[in-house]
Chain A
């Protein structure tokens, strides 16, 4: 039976610490930024945005929204526009797989992605001397000129599949496959699982009353759900941008 891997991210639990961002970068051999990188040119396959209710003083409320590839299930925009077929929706897992080695760097997919979840390698990846010894062997390193994005940590999926095969099992053990971001979250805000499995906790979380998706009106059927009990947070779901309007730090 094919799986549909996805997330339910509890925005009431996300503290904006950024552990998911660092864990993602470490797992996927994302290089540290060169001196001239900025938030616009950086490589952050998992990116946590700070949002507020727009008020000041004691009435101000803030929340954090982790955004990575939504793994859109319907008329996936990036898949539709890619001239190289460098991205496809994997039939067995529902993961939207980006193959940077096939990419020619036209960045059409970056324009097509409504969630700004794709990032361009403006520069060749560079690590301080010797640091390449710390690279994760399960993930290929990209080069400049290609687009990359969250692939739901395929190295971890592969390990789980290999472990299952060696043990004589056809299906992976769900406990063996968890992307770096979900594993890293210190509050357990990121719940990962198979949305096609009714017994998976992520299924009931995604169907709960407080769950919503960003820009659901576009109809791309993202596999990343969010939940919150705060009305002002839920109201952000259909807004065009979750970027704060004023310069924010801290």
Chain B
């Protein structure tokens, strides 16, 4: 039999017909379509059970409680903690994506020196050598932590100097500290008892202090009401988010805050709107009007509004003394609803930006803003979890990132009540990571370990027999049976809050109206956010929408 091409074609046709009666085409179609939906370069989430753990966010001083969903080793979601006494269940927009920060492209994963990779051993040698050659400074932006006492202990023993960089929120309280002798860390704002809040450009509804504290308060007592229980007066040149929601917006000319404060003070005194006498500002009302661009009537009206619904408190964006003096005049210092004194005096430090004096070496903690510059001649040992960019002649030391380090959270600067929490580390850091405390402990093993300091603090709190531990349920300290039990609670995400202080007055001595006429510093959004980078999902806010301006000097 001779097979021709025709036979092949006929055979082929038969094969095709037969194939249609086999699973081949149908199964291939099904499988290929499944394959097209499972391309290997599309990332897949992990399989497996998800647990819920609690900790505290440490990306600013706010101390917000967080509920973290963990898929075994890694966090897969962050949310607020309902009924948390400090943060009231709320978080700032960035916190919801903070669990992704540890994989940010700018994450520091190796020691770097003068642009090349180095080792911890080299950094340690260099630091020890530097300490031997001259005075060293350790710069800390979050004093009061357990880590801070390790820093202080080191500098005391090794011819060093412990320096603190205060945040703008802390700086805003420095005038009162100066006038009363009470340390800055002992002062706070008693917002819960205020009925009028006057903010000079402070974004109280957009990321100031512990964000949830005031947003919840304002939402309960002021939002949507024509005649609210809590009146928010926002004084700033442009219509910010806070100004847009405030009860009154006072649009003054940029840089004229001190002038307005003086104008209002003059009105309060001349029209006898305040009880106690006070120093009269030198400038006249007309001068204030000219500088601020507001009519004299508007300034007088503002003064009236401030005292109509008391207690009133004024919030300044920084240590502008004229704005602080207004608080003194209004009787808002040392009184409920105003600037109050928290229990327990923790020694304060003067903000050291720039550093006083000259140093051989400067160790900069990861909480210090990236823009902080030590002097040119010092050898800088910069701890950071993310690279903020720019030239670095000094040492860049990879520090723990989000939830990678056991640390404690002292009272936020703006809080009226003492609080203490422990931010439990939920994630194991990559191998090359070391915290500043670990670095110093390796150099001097006699220093106290962070865990020991936290343990001692829990012990202290337990022995005061006051306050309440807010975990799953509130528990008075008097009902806690041991310091260990208290520490265990805190390590599981609870927070201790002290009892309100007994009414102890403190007085500010203000002999004359401050002459300082400097402008108050405007803050861009997320000014309190410590890392030099934003979580990648922040692009939703400024790149994928027009909701916010792109962040100044930071990248997602």
A interface vs B, CB < 8 Å?
A: 10, 12-13, 15-19, 21-23, 25-27, 29-30, 32-33, 37-39, 41-44, 47-50, 57-58, 60-64, 101, 124-125, 127-139, 141, 143, 180, 183-189, 228-229, 244, 247-250
Q: Looking at the complex, which one of B75, B78, B212, B224 makes contact with A229 (CB distance below 8 Å)? A: B224
Q: List 29 A-B contacts (CB under 8 A).
A: A13-B245, A15-B206, A15-B241, A16-B241, A17-B92, A19-B90, A19-B91, A25-B537, A26-B537, A32-B540, A37-B539, A38-B544, A42-B540, A44-B545, A62-B239, A63-B244, A127-B100, A128-B103, A128-B105, A129-B105, A134-B76, A136-B45, A137-B47, A137-B48, A180-B79, A187-B218, A228-B224, A229-B226, A244-B546
Q: Looking at the complex, which one of A26, A41, A189 makes contact with B78 (CB distance below 8 Å)? A: A26
- On chain B, the residues within 8 Å of A29 by CB distance are 45
Does any Cβ of A come within 8 Å of B536's Cβ? yes
Give the distance to chain A from B329, nearest Cβ to Cβ, in Å: 26
A39 touches B96 (CB 8 A): no
In chain B between 99 and 140, which residues have their CB closer than 8 angstroms to a CB of chain A?
A: 99-100, 103-105
A22 touches B244 (CB 8 A): no
- On chain A, the residues within 8 Å of B41 by CB distance are 124
* A228-B39 Cα distance, complex, nearest whole Å: 47
Does any Cβ of A come within 8 Å of B505's Cβ? no
- On chain A, the residues within 8 Å of B226 by CB distance are 229
Give the distance to chain B from A140, nearest Cβ to Cβ, in Å: 8
A137 touches B245 (CB 8 A): no
Does any Cβ of A come within 8 Å of B219's Cβ? yes
A133 touches B37 (CB 8 A): no
B544 touches A250 (CB 8 A): no
In chain B between 319 and 373, which residues have their CB closer than 8 angstroms to a CB of chain A?
A: none
Give the distance to chain A from B523, nearest Cβ to Cβ, in Å: 12
* A62-B75 Cα distance, complex, nearest whole Å: 37
How many residues on the B side are at the interface (Cβ–Cβ under 8 A)? 70
Give the distance to chain A from B68, nearest Cβ to Cβ, in Å: 11
Give the distance to chain B from A130, nearest Cβ to Cβ, in Å: 4
Q: Looking at the complex, which one of B104, B219, B540 makes contact with A13 (CB distance below 8 Å)? A: B219
A133 touches B74 (CB 8 A): yes
- On chain B, the residues within 8 Å of A17 by CB distance are 92-93, 205-207, 241
In chain B between 44 and 87, which residues have their CB closer than 8 angstroms to a CB of chain A?
A: 44-48, 50, 69, 71, 73-80
* A19-B143 Cα distance, complex, nearest whole Å: 29
A32 touches B537 (CB 8 A): yes
Does any Cβ of A come within 8 Å of B538's Cβ? yes
Give the distance to chain A from B169, nearest Cβ to Cβ, in Å: 18
Residues A141 and B43 in contact in the complex (CB < 8 Å), given A16-B241, A18-B548, A187-B223: yes
B97 touches A132 (CB 8 A): no
Does any Cβ of A come within 8 Å of B410's Cβ? no
- On chain A, the residues within 8 Å of B215 by CB distance are 15, 186-187
Q: Looking at the complex, which one of A10, A129, A132, A141 makes contact with B224 (CB distance below 8 Å)? A: A10
Closest chain B residue to A175, Cβ basis: B82
Closest chain A residue to B238, Cβ basis: A250
* A189-B223 Cα distance, complex, nearest whole Å: 10
- On chain A, the residues within 8 Å of B93 by CB distance are 17-19, 21-23
- On chain B, the residues within 8 Å of A184 by CB distance are 79-80, 90-91, 96
* A183-B90 Cα distance, complex, nearest whole Å: 8
Tell me which of B71, B104, B223 has the highest count of chain A C-beta atoms within 10 A of its own C-beta. Answer: B223
Q: Looking at the complex, which one of A38, A63, A134, A141 makes contact with B103 (CB distance below 8 Å)? A: A134
A42-B544, A141-B45, A184-B80 known, 6 other contacts, Cβ within 8 Å? A32-B540, A50-B547, A136-B76, A184-B90, A186-B91, A228-B224
- On chain A, the residues within 8 Å of B78 by CB distance are 26
Give the distance to chain A from B52, nearest Cβ to Cβ, in Å: 11
* A43-B543 Cα distance, complex, nearest whole Å: 10
B42 touches A137 (CB 8 A): no
Q: Looking at the complex, which one of B39, B99, B249, B536 makes contact with A128 (CB distance below 8 Å)? A: B536
Tell me which of B94, B212, B538 has the highest count of chain A C-beta atoms within 10 A of its own C-beta. Answer: B538
* A185-B79 Cα distance, complex, nearest whole Å: 11
Residues A33 and B80 in contact in the complex (CB < 8 Å), given A25-B97, A128-B104, A137-B46: no
- On chain A, the residues within 8 Å of B99 by CB distance are 26, 134
In chain B between 219 and 256, which residues have their CB closer than 8 angstroms to a CB of chain A?
A: 219, 223-224, 226, 238-242, 244-245, 249, 251
Does any Cβ of A come within 8 Å of B216's Cβ? yes
Does any Cβ of A come within 8 Å of B211's Cβ? yes
- On chain A, the residues within 8 Å of B47 by CB distance are 137
Q: Looking at the complex, which one of B37, B43, B48, B80 makes contact with A101 (CB distance below 8 Å)? A: B37
- On chain B, the residues within 8 Å of A183 by CB distance are 79-80
Q: Looking at the complex, which one of A42, A125, A137 makes contact with B71 (CB distance below 8 Å)? A: A137
Closest chain B residue to A187, Cβ basis: B219
- On chain A, the residues within 8 Å of B541 by CB distance are 18, 21-22
A143 touches B103 (CB 8 A): no
* A179-B223 Cα distance, complex, nearest whole Å: 23
- On chain A, the residues within 8 Å of B241 by CB distance are 15-17, 64
A26 touches B543 (CB 8 A): no
Tell me which of A16, A39, A138, A228 has the highest count of chain B C-beta atoms within 10 A of its own C-beta. Answer: A16
Does any Cβ of A come within 8 Å of B444's Cβ? no
Give the distance to chain B from A58, nearest Cβ to Cβ, in Å: 5
Does any Cβ of A come within 8 Å of B556's Cβ? yes
Give the distance to chain B from A237, nearest Cβ to Cβ, in Å: 17
- On chain B, the residues within 8 Å of A57 by CB distance are 251
Does any Cβ of A come within 8 Å of B271's Cβ? no
A21 touches B545 (CB 8 A): yes
B536 touches A131 (CB 8 A): yes
B224 touches A12 (CB 8 A): yes
Give the distance to chain A from B414, nearest Cβ to Cβ, in Å: 16
Residues A186 and B212 in contact in the complex (CB < 8 Å), given A22-B537, A32-B556: yes
Does any Cβ of A come within 8 Å of B301's Cβ? no
Residues A13 and B547 in contact in the complex (CB < 8 Å), given A32-B556, A137-B50, A186-B211: no
* A38-B546 Cα distance, complex, nearest whole Å: 9
Give the distance to chain A from B115, nearest Cβ to Cβ, in Å: 22
Q: Looking at the complex, which one of B92, B96, B545, B556 makes contact with A42 (CB distance below 8 Å)? A: B545
Tell me which of A12, A13, A23 has the highest count of chain B C-beta atoms within 10 A of its own C-beta. Answer: A23
* A127-B207 Cα distance, complex, nearest whole Å: 27
A125 touches B42 (CB 8 A): yes
Does any Cβ of A come within 8 Å of B549's Cβ? yes
